[in-house]
Chains A and B, each alone.
Chain A
Amino acid sequence: MKKLLEILEDIRPDVNFEEETALVTDGVLDSFDIVSIVGEINDQFDVDIYAEDLIPENFDSAEAMMKLIERHLDE
């Protein structure tokens, strides 16, 4: 989780990822942020997150993203 927060804060230092729970639904993150975040996650966690995972539920909060990463690591 710490690694994830580092990635997120690097891309958008102005967002409070520990508290936000509607990052996509409220438009806090735009499509470029999402792509940058996924690129970093794929790299650093060695997973393959594709476009089909890009639904709001998976990216609305740091917890949701962590769960997505864990699901991919489990496969």
Chain B
Amino acid sequence: MSLISLEFLVFLGITAIIYFLAPKKVQWIVLLIANYVFYAFAGAKYIPFLLYTTFTTYIGCLWLSKLNRKYKETLAELKGSLDREQKKRLKTASIRQKRWVVALVCVLNFGVLGLVKYSDFLVDNINGILSALSLPVLEMTVDWILPLGISFYTFQAIGYLVDVYRDQVEAERNFFKTALFLSFFPQLVQGPISRYEQLAHQLTEEHRFDYDRFKKGAYLILWGLFKKLVIAERIVRISNWVFNVENQATGVLIFIGAVAYSIRVYTDFSGGIDIARGAAQILGIELTQNFERPYFATTIGEFWRRWHMSLGSWFRDYVFYPLSLSKGLSKAGKWGRKYLGNYIGKLIPVLTSQFVVFTLIGVWHGSSWKYIAFGFYHGIMIVGGILLGPKLHKIGEDRGINMTSFGFRVFQILRTFIIVVFGRIFTMGNSLTQSMGYYAKSFQFDLDFLTDGLLSKWGFHRAEFLLLVAALFLLFIVSVLQERGMQIRDTLLKKHMLIQWMVYLALIFTVIIFGVYGYGYASSDFIYRGF
């Protein structure tokens, strides 16, 4: 069931009605059933995968919980009679046991994710090497099915597991409540990836229907539909045309195509997230933010703190921190400080981990070298930013540039935007080779396009293009207001009923009349749905 279908809205409506009419004590069960009904619509054959992850995570967390308890009890019993060395050994032993549990559950789940998403990629590459060596290739490609949301719920499950390992949350003893946490339908398709501490209790708590909250959720859903159907589905024509090799786009056109794609991926993804958050809000549940006007970021680092925030913070807490504080990298850091100087030595753990994190983020996006290159590119940008930042700052100071001025901030925003847009080109080709071809072509300058009837080539009548520009302008204004801290929906709810209704109706009509609907809904599917 696509998040932008009428079916979804009907499903949401029916679920909400049953949810709020049901006795408060069984609300969570209604939600659990709704989650699995939703998932069944996507494909009943995927359910075993979700149950598998739920089950392994549930058992793993109970086991960790038991190990945590054992450690604390032993410590309490023997507290007086142990010296510092013995206490340290007790702790290390407990940690080692817990690590085995985490490792096991990770292998079981990331293993399945890897198989389903990446095995063909792996086999292709192995075959590439084999045939280069004139050896027989492997006949092993299987048509794996890709369970809906597997990248998202797997990460959410492992995050919960590690939180229990760290004794930051209590393991859930009820299997069905665990299943509830891992199957919440608004976030199944494309996130956000939630944390146990933030989400779990909300799912099992009682919720009353609240009209204001319903209105806020409805606004958010409408806004998401606007972004997706009016903007994303329209602007995609530009990037599709530019990145279709037959059209032989060169020079500035490639950049324009990349800008169009950057806008498209933002409005598509964040629009879907808005629908998810709006739906959850109607039920009384708050899902974490996933985007914060990312294209207003002043540095690449800041961009990744505003784009796909739940993925970024997952990698920060579960990969970056553990990796950069690990014994291995700490030792490398000490070695670096001794032989390469204090400055570089201190940076070794951070830079290495950042690089690993971004390569993994690239890999997360898909099983192709172009995504790995994408991750690499951002890794280099981030590392470059850390290394060059202080020096560039000094140059700016020496030249007397006012780095707190609005003008400078605009410069930083544009600079970051260009870096991000440029990076997107990696993902535009069907393969890394094709993407590199686009990069090469972008350096060929050709101004004919200005007079070539470009709009009609892209599939736009003049009026429709103006509509797109108007929609983008509206998005921009709203974003600037939000960036200044305005809580738009709260402000709207304080206005006169007439105004509220006018905004609703305007949004509804805009979406219905100006939305681009594909054949059936296939071509309007969300980009991130296949994850």
Contact = CB atoms under 8 A, between A and B. Distances in A.
Contact of A42 (B84, B91, B316, B330): B330
Interface in B324-378: 324-325, 330, 333-334, 346, 349-350, 353
B88 A75 contact: yes
A39 B88 CA distance: 19
Chain A's interface size range is 10 to 19
Interface in B75-119: 84, 87-88, 91
Contacts of A34: 321
Given A39-B325, A39-B333, A51-B317, A32 B350 contact: yes
B322 interface: yes
Interface string A50-72: 11101100000000000000000
Interface string A38-49: 110011000001
Contacts of A50: 322, 325
Contact of B386 (A32, A42, A54, A75): A32
Contacts of A36: 346, 350
Contacts of B330: 39, 42
Contacts of A35: 320-321, 324-325, 349-350, 353
Nearest to B382: A32
B325 A49 contact: yes
B201 interface: no
Chain B's interface size range is 20 to 34
Contacts of A19: none
A14 to B, nearest CB: 11
B530 interface: no
B431 interface: no
A51 B316 CA distance: 10
Contacts of A54: 317, 321
Nearest to A54: B321
B90 to A, nearest CB: 10
B320 A31 contact: yes
B84 A39 contact: no
B350 A51 contact: no
B350 A52 contact: no
Contacts of B212: none
B167 A52 contact: yes
B166 interface: yes
A18 interface: no
Contacts of B346: 36, 39
Contacts of A32: 350, 386
A28 B506 CA distance: 40
B168 interface: yes
Contacts of B84: 75
Nearest to A55: B168
A34 B324 CA distance: 10
A52 B316 contact: no
A42 B346 CA distance: 13
A31 B349 CA distance: 12
Nearest to B333: A39
A54 B323 CA distance: 13
Nearest to B302: A30
B301 interface: yes
Given A35-B321, A39-B346, A39-B349, A52 B386 contact: no
Contacts of B165: 52
Contacts of A31: 316, 320-321
Contacts of A30: 301
A67 B347 CA distance: 26
A51 B91 contact: no
B168 A38 contact: no
Contacts of B168: 52, 55
A52 B322 CA distance: 8
Contacts of B353: 35
A55 B165 CA distance: 14
Contacts of B91: 75
Interface in B301-322: 301, 316-317, 320-322
A30 B304 CA distance: 12
Nearest to A42: B330
**Among B165, B333, B386, residue most surrounded by chain A Cβ atoms (within 10 Å):** B333
Nearest to B345: A39
Contacts of A51: 166, 317, 321-322, 325
Contacts of B88: 75
B106 to A, nearest CB: 15
Interface in B40-92: 84, 87-88, 91
Interface in B149-167: 165-167
Contacts of A43: 334
A54 B317 CA distance: 8
Interface in A5-36: 30-32, 34-36
A52 B166 contact: yes
Interface string B197-214: 000000000000000000
Nearest to A53: B166
Given A30-B301, A31-B320, A51-B322, 19 more contacts: A31-B316, A31-B321, A32-B350, A32-B386, A34-B321, A35-B321, A35-B324, A35-B325, A35-B349, A35-B353, A36-B346, A39-B346, A43-B334, A50-B322, A51-B325, A52-B165, A52-B166, A54-B321, A75-B88
6 contacts: A36-B350, A39-B325, A42-B325, A42-B330, A50-B322, A55-B168
